[in-house]
Structure 1
């Protein structure tokens, strides 16, 4: 990788200038193996593999311990980034959008709280954001939208496309995938119901499920599929390339 360190007064990274894009990727708590008895913060390896393959540097952004200064910490994190990926994992807490929790469904309220603050800090700094699966749902909830249960969209193996989606004309997603339709992989049991403020539907499946949303200013996109698990020649994986182009444009602006 081509990384150059250069002292620059007032640079947003304080002490260095890096030629590679730095992309933050949120993580989830992973249960401890029995032989270690300690928890891990982790993320699907597809994110780091996909970012490295495209010449970007992944920076994991784990959830900090609960604290009253999430906003200040999130602002500091965002200042180091060219882009932010909200990764998949547990369901967003239904209480965030006025519904009751469902027994047996995995939730992580502390992670929700951190990532909502992180998302809003990225928006305030105009840092591009890509939400993947849970990440797309959390973006919608952060903007006042709601979610619903949606069966029939959990199709292993997850590195293979499983159903088609129709892309909304004139959207960022259409430009990214290069056409009005594409096939995607699918690993979700929730779907977006009411679309949040400042967002629009960018793709839908044949059964009416919202498969992608994006912001009106073009700096946020959330997809229900997992582009990080798809081969790079699949149109649905090109969301990642288009997102990195946004990050590049922001850095060079």
Structure 2
């Protein structure tokens, strides 16, 4: 059997056919395709804060991108440009913490990396242009910033990425303090782009969006760890 990879999802208004702006559990298909092409079986997980029992039938967990985390999770007050979805936060923090306790393989993408970081006691910058003085990480609405990252030699992410270090970013928040995680990748401006937990079987967070190119290096590593 293919390893079963749970993929966290949004609840957002969606329109199809004669139906307009219906609250819908959804996720960009690139995540599903990236897992499938890497040899996994994708299962979409709508937000559900009642329990984390679904982890009992999963072999791995993919924490996807999306809206900002509620700053109260890391002891801060919301800043003007922070937009959060509390119901998704509650569900995904529960899933994440239980997955880590069970040593389930976890890959966090963009928001998912931030979720892993805050779950490990870290903190976020709420609006990077205020901190960095530029908007290279989210250059325009719906436009990915493309740049080269650098990685810690000998780290898991360095081994996976090899010589091709181009990344596609779309985020306005970032890591201020990694908590108990280890930062193993950086953008040119020094912003953390990858975090890991070397003490666990597979816990990797990346600030960029590997699903848009269906990067088999990263998704393949998650699926391999879940076998």
TM-score in terms of structure 2 length: 0.88
Higher Rg: 1
Partner residue in 1 for 2:192: 210
CA distance in 2, matches of 1:161, 1:191: 14
C-alpha displacement of 1:159: 8.8
2:87 match: secondary structure: helix
- 1:196 aligns with 179
Q: Could you say which structure has the higher strand fraction? A: 2
User: In 2 relative to 1, CA 49–231 (structure 1 residues): closer, same or farther, beyond 3 Å?
Assistant: closer
Deviation at 1:223, TM superposition (A): 0.3
- What per-residue deviation string (whole Å, max 9, x for no partner) do you get for residues 127-174 of structure 1? 100000000001101111000021320146979771011001111101
Could you say which residue in structure 2 is the equivalent of 1:183? 166
For the 8 Å contact 2:33–2:214, the answer to whether it is kept is no
- Number of residues of Structure 1 aligned to a counterpart in Structure 2: 217
Aligned equivalents of 2:140, 2:27: Cα separation in 1? 18
Contact 1:158 1:229 in 2 (8 A): no
Question: Which residue, out of 92, 97, 113, partners 1:115?
Answer: 92
Match of 2:132 in 1: none
Residue 110 of structure 2 corresponds to 133
* CA displacement 1:197-233 (0-9 Å, x = unmatched): 2x1001001101000101122421000011110154x
Are 1:220 and 2:203 an aligned pair? Answer: yes
Inter-partner Cα distance in structure 2 for 1:205 and 1:104: 22
Q: Distance in 2 between matches of 1:129 and 1:51?
A: 13
Counterpart of 1:21?
Answer: 3
Greater RCO, CA 8 A, separation 6+: 2
Q: For residues 68 and 35 of structure 2, what CA distance do their matches in structure 1 show?
A: 25
Which deviates more from structure 2 when the two are superposed, residues 44-53 or residues 102-111?
102-111
Q: Please, which of 242, 245, 248 is the counterpart of residue 221 of structure 2?
A: 242
Q: Is the 8 A contact 2:114 2:175 kept in 1?
A: yes
Q: 1:1-20 to 2 correspondence within 5 Å?
A: 19-20=1-2
Partner of residue 150, structure 1: 128
Query: Unmatched 5+ residue regions in structure 2?
Result: 130-134
Q: Which residue of 2 aligns with 1:40?
A: 24
Kept in 2, the 8 Å contact 1:155–1:162? The answer is no
